[in-house]
Amino acid sequence: MGSKSVVTLAGVSALALYSSMAVGSLGSRYNFPEPQSIIAKETYDMHIWLMWICLVIFIGVFSVMFYSILKHRKSVGHKAANFHHSTAAEVIWTIIPCIILVVMAWPATKTVIAMKDTSSPDMTIKATGYQWMWGYDYLQGEGEGISFFSRISTPRAQIENKEPKGEHYLLEVDNHVVVPVGKKVRVVITANDVLHAWSVPALGVKQDAIPGFIRDTWFTADKAGIYRGMCSELCGKDHAFMPIVVEVMEADDYAQWVTAQLSASAVKTSMHVENK
């Protein structure tokens, strides 16, 4: 039981590490992106802590195993012990793994509960997955009423290997999701057609988008910058071509962006009415 649990936890950590490598990292190509939110920092710290625990267990178990194999082999004259049952051994190898799992589960549970606490947001954005792009609607807070689609903007020539690939190959979009720094942003997530997933590793966000269902998550960005992610659910032939870009701005810059977006929206509405 103990060894299976440890292997499972190690496998989960390895899968998380592989997923993070797909998006890229600011600190190291072999680690998570540099965390830029409270949840991302807690996730990163917990990942490192659990990996150290798994490493200690791995070294301890295999050290005992190889020592036993080398020192108790038949070729050096060792005779096999003959016993059928040890209550003490069974109690030890059951209780110790249980204690380790409880120690691991306590901080993990606190982080998972914090991930799900979307109450009292400063603003709410709806993200809708389409084949193959994202639609965004600002539902509440500063910027309410803004709506747009976000499509991949990587040149087709790069995708077809006719030009050198850019720095952010397959992680570029025509319209960024723009939010202010230091504000709690609730993201309401759904899908229009098939399963998608809205994921931005640096902000500690990953949530499935399911047709007919509303899921939600949240983040609070620590500093201004551009943070990239992608759809993390296999959604069809162009799954690799629906990235996510979140641009975090200072409060004044964000206010200017909101004003510009609302003005542009008002102009489009006016032109549409006139054309009718």
Kindly report the pTM of this predicted structure: 0.77
pLDDT per residue, tens digit, the chain (276 aa), is 343 333 333 333 333 433 433 334 344 577 888 899 999 999 999 999 999 999 999 999 999 999 988 988 888 888 877 777 888 888 998 999 999 999 999 989 999 999 999 999 999 999 999 999 999 999 999 999 999 999 999 999 999 999 999 999 999 999 999 999 999 999 999 999 999 999 999 999 999 999 999 999 999 999 999 999 999 999 999 999 999 999 999 999 999 999 999 988 776 666 655 666
Pick the CATH number of 123-275 from 1.25.40.10, 1.10.1740.10, 2.60.40.420, 2.170.16.10: 2.60.40.420
Query: What are the structural domain ranges in the chain?
Result: 2-115, 123-275
One-letter amino acid of 196: H
The answer to whether the 2-115 and 123-275 domains have the same CATH topology is: no
**127 neighbors 188 (Cβ within 8 angstroms):** yes
8 A C-beta contact, residue 143 and residue 123: yes
CATH number of 2-115: 1.10.287
Whole-angstrom distance, CA of residue 245 vs CA of residue 228 = 5
